Copies of this chain bind each other. A is one copy, B any other.
Amino acid sequence: MPKKLGNVLIGQAGGPTAVINQSLVGLVETCQRNARVDRILGAVHGIQGVLQQRLVDLGRESRKTLEAVATTPGSALRSVRKKPTPEECERIQKALSKLGVRWFFYIGGNDSAETAHLVSKIARDAKDELVIFHVPKTIDNDLHATDHCPGFASAARFVAMALQGDEQDNRSLPGIKIDVIMGRHAGWLTASSALARAREDDGPHLVYCPERVFEMSAFLADVDRVYKRLGRCVVAVSEGIHDAQGNLIGAGEEKDSHGNVQLSGTGALGDLLAATIKRELGAKLRVRADTFGYLQRSFAGAVSPVDSKEARRVGERAAEVALSGRRASGTISIVRKQRQQYAVSYETNELERVAKEQRRLEERFLAGSNGVSPAFIDWLRPLVGKLPKTQLLSDFPFDAG
């Protein structure tokens, strides 16, 4: 019987997703099966839980509970938005050492990868045999070195389904409809709204991503042109649209603990755009704005089956690689195989590859100033899965004769 080498610690960080618990459960179940793992601990609220000694025993969770947790949205271990100071990173390393933690898994985005990277360096300098793995998640899909991130496809599915319904709503009662979609620096999720289109005249008719400078005058001209052609206009706008100087359009001033301006959770941008359209294009226009907000990342009814499966597999793979002893640190990337049929492999990458920097929507996926390319739709479709079909009436003409 192999000797127990130490304990596992798992934490979750950043904005939750609909499938982040799949990764958690993938980690726990893989560790439960490994004879060299002694205890499996969970840090409540990520590194905050490490610093404050708020720990739970995940190893005792039954398979039944874990499988039910896996399909529950949100971060079951509870999350944190905290960028630790160098001093806190040292405290974290010491706390892990004291807890007998040999493997630390941190499920999160690029900020979490950066935290993992810092703690990893401290451990190496201290000759601590700690193994640290980052497990990617983000609805924003803004991590480098991966085809896509777990969590993104389910949020994209929600957005696409929301636009499918919104398109029918706007056909019913025509007007100008603005949908504000999450994604601070990257337009992946906003662009995903275009997957809702099934017909030439389907919305969203205009899609504004933060990869492009947003010019209000061009926006107004775009809306006017579509409205004149179709008698209505559905617009998808990223919460992160900004002017040429980088100033966010309609943003509040609140910042989170990473120093990022808080964009989600207010209707300010949508209301500003709606008011501007009414002022400039006509006060009698029917203009409405919805800000999708937190529903995008936590709605249980729009999970992508591919996303769900991949999130689980990414957790399992992180545990497998870390426990194999082949590497002291790393993150898991999803690599898409160049095949007719969608298929991926899971590879290990350096933490530096995903830490700090954000991956923006690629140029080849954008079209002009207000659209996405067919290549983007081809890339996105297998991730999101089959959408409900919408059907219009044939509108057979009535001939009174």
- Interface residues, chain A, with chain B CB atoms under 8 Å away: 12, 15-16, 18, 39, 41-42, 44, 55-58, 60-61, 65, 68-69, 71-81, 99, 158, 161-162, 164-169, 171-174, 177, 264-268, 270-271, 274, 287-295, 297-302, 388-400
Q: A165-B73, A289-B267, A388-B300 are in contact. Are A16 and B393 (CB under 8 A)?
A: no
22 contacts between A and B (CB under 8 A): A16-B173, A56-B395, A56-B396, A56-B398, A57-B396, A57-B398, A61-B394, A74-B168, A76-B392, A78-B172, A78-B173, A80-B173, A158-B301, A165-B300, A166-B294, A166-B295, A169-B294, A266-B288, A266-B289, A267-B267, A267-B270, A291-B291
A75 surroundings in chain B (CB, below 8 A): 168, 172-173
Complex: how many Å from CA A298 to CA B18?
21
Complex: how many Å from CA A180 to CA B389?
29
Complex: how many Å from CA A390 to CA B39?
26
Q: How far is the CB of A181 from chain B (nearest CB, A)?
A: 12
A295 surroundings in chain B (CB, below 8 A): 162, 165-166, 290, 292, 295
Do the beta carbons of B388 and A161 come within 8 Å of each other? no
A287 surroundings in chain B (CB, below 8 A): 265
A398 interface neighbour in B41, B158, B298, Cβ under 8 Å: B41
A388 surroundings in chain B (CB, below 8 A): 71, 300-301
Least CB separation from A75: chain B residue: B172
Do the beta carbons of A267 and B264 come within 8 Å of each other? no
Complex: how many Å from CA A293 to CA B170?
13
Which 3 A-B pairs give the minimum distances between C-beta atoms? A267-B267, A74-B168, A265-B288
